[in-house]
Structure 1
Amino acid sequence: MKVTDFDYYLPEELIAQVPIEKRDEAKLMVIDKNNKEIEHKIFKDVIDYLETGDCLVLNDTRVLPARLIGEKKGSGGKMEFLLLKRVDKDNWETLVKPGKRAKIGSRFTFGNGELKAEVVALGEEGSRIVKFEYEGVFESVLDRLGQMPLPPYIKEKLEDKEQYQTVYSKERGSAAAPTAGLHFTEELLSEIKNKGISLVFLTLHVGLGTFRPVKAEDITDHVMHSEYYTLSKESAEVINKTKEMGKKVIAVGTTSCRTLETIGDDNGRVKESSGWTDIFIYPGYKFKIIDGLITNFHLPQSTLLMLVSALCGREKILNAYNTAVKEEYRFFSFGDAMLIK
Structure 2
Amino acid sequence: MRARALRELRAAPARPVVAAVGVLAVAAVALVPVVGREVAEAGGAGSGPAATHRTDVPGAAQAAKAAPAAAECTPGNVAESLRPSSGGGAAVDRIKAKGQLVVGVDQNTYRWGYRNPHTGKLEGFDIDLARAIAEDILGPDAKVVFRAVPTNQRVPAVRERSVDMVVRTMTINCARKEQVAFSTAYFQGGQQVLAPKGSKIEAFDGSLRGKRVCTAAGSTGESELAAQRHGARVLTVPNQLDCLVRLQLGEADAVVTDNALAAAQAAQDPTVELKGEPFTDEPYGVAMNKDDTDLVRRVNKVLDDYRGGGDGSDWMRAYRKWLAADLPGVSGPPSPEYSD
Q: Same fold (TM over 0.5)?
A: no
Higher relative strand content = 1
Question: Normalising by the residue count of structure 2, what TM-score does the alignment of the two structures yield?
Answer: 0.26
Question: Normalising by the residue count of structure 1, what TM-score does the alignment of the two structures yield?
Answer: 0.26
Q: Which has the larger radius of gyration?
A: 1
